């Protein structure tokens, strides 16, 4: 009887071991798919890096432009901005409008261009609008404001005169010195009496100047 019990126990042990062996090697893996398939981390990292590189490349393709902001602003100077920037962004970079700025003609939403001079007039330079037809004052800069405004060469400062095509600081000072010695210009073409301003130079600025 004792020997029979041992045989039964031995047989049960063999059966249990065999069942465990079978289940371990032949039963399908029932683990959830989300547990068995783990995304390749290196691939995800590569994709993220690729996205960043594409963004950086796109930004590098955006051209930088240079705009000279002068007149009635707190910090006049040449500013580097991205192509497509607006006037209001340049005004902000230049420290905002000065207290004596005449802001009415400034088109804040207008796009600036490379090499542009953005001149903000002073209050004492402003003249009354004529029946809503636009300013007729002594400053120019249709690129900045979207309106054709001529410079009065009898009252314009050196800085204002420098906004004219082909007129640098030296030539602008010559114009101011000439009118101080000889009095006001009688007509626009009288500016050719200034040393260094000949007919070719005058033809570039004649549509942007006036006398009052």
pTM: 0.41
Question: How far is it, in rounded angstroms, from Cα 131 to Cα 7?
Answer: 120
At 153 the pLDDT is 94
Interval 147-173 mean pLDDT: 86
Interval 123-143 mean pLDDT: 46
Name the band, by pLDDT with cuts 50, 70 and 90, for residue 84. very high
Residue that the structure tokens 């783990």 belong to: 38
| Contact between 139 and 122 (Cβ < 8 Å) | no
Interval 61-84 mean pLDDT: 90
Q: What is the DSSP letter of 178?
A: H
pLDDT in tens, 165-176: 889 888 999 999
Interval 125-137 mean pLDDT: 41
At 46 the pLDDT is 55
Question: How far is it, in rounded angstroms, from Cα 94 to Cα 92?
Answer: 5
The backbone region for 115, taken as left when phi is positive above 0, alpha when psi lies in -120 to 50, beta otherwise, is left
Higher pLDDT, residue 103 or 60: 103
| Contact between 91 and 97 (Cβ < 8 Å) | yes
Higher pLDDT, residue 137 or 192: 192
Return all residues near 117 (Cβ < 8 A) that are at least 6 apart.
67, 68, 70, 141, 143, 144, 162, 163
| Contact between 135 and 127 (Cβ < 8 Å) | yes
At 34 the pLDDT is 47
Q: Is the pLDDT of residue 79 over 70?
A: yes
pLDDT in tens, 168-202: 888 999 999 899 888 899 999 999 999 889 999 99
Q: Which among 131, 135, 180, 133 has a CA at the least distance from the CA of 157?
A: 180
| Contact between 166 and 205 (Cβ < 8 Å) | yes
State the burial class of residue 106 (Cβ atoms within 10 Å of its Cβ: 0-12, 13-18, 19+): buried
What residues are paired with 71 via a beta bridge? 120
Q: How far is CA 89 from the centre of its chain?
A: 7
């Amino acid at each position: 009887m004792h020997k029979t019990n041992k045989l039964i126990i031995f047989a049960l042990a063999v059966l249990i071991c065999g069942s465990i062996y079978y289940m371990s090697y032949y039963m399908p893996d029932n683990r959830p798919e989300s547990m068995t398939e783990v995304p390749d981390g290196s691939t995800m990292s590569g994709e993220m890096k690729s996205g960043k590189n594409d963004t950086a490349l796109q930004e590098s393709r955006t051209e930088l432009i240079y705009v000279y902001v002068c007149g009635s602003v707190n910090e006049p100077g040449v500013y580097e901005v991205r192509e497509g920037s607006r006037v209001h962004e340049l005004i902000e970079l230049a420290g905002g409008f000065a207290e004596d700025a005449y802001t009415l003609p400034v088109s804040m939403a207008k796009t600036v261009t490379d090499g542009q001079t953005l001149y903000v007039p002073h209050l004492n330079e402003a003249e009354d609008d004529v029946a809503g037809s636009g300013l007729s004052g002594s400053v120019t800069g249709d690129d900045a404001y979207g309106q054709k405004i001529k410079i009065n060469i009898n009252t314009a400062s050196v800085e204002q005169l420098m906004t004219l095509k082909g007129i640098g600081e030296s030539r602008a000072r010559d114009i101011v010195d000439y009118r101080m010695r000889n009095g006001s210009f009688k007509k626009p073409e009288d500016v050719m009496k200034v040393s260094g301003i000949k007919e070719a130079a005058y033809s570039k600025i004649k549509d942007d100047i006036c006398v009052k």
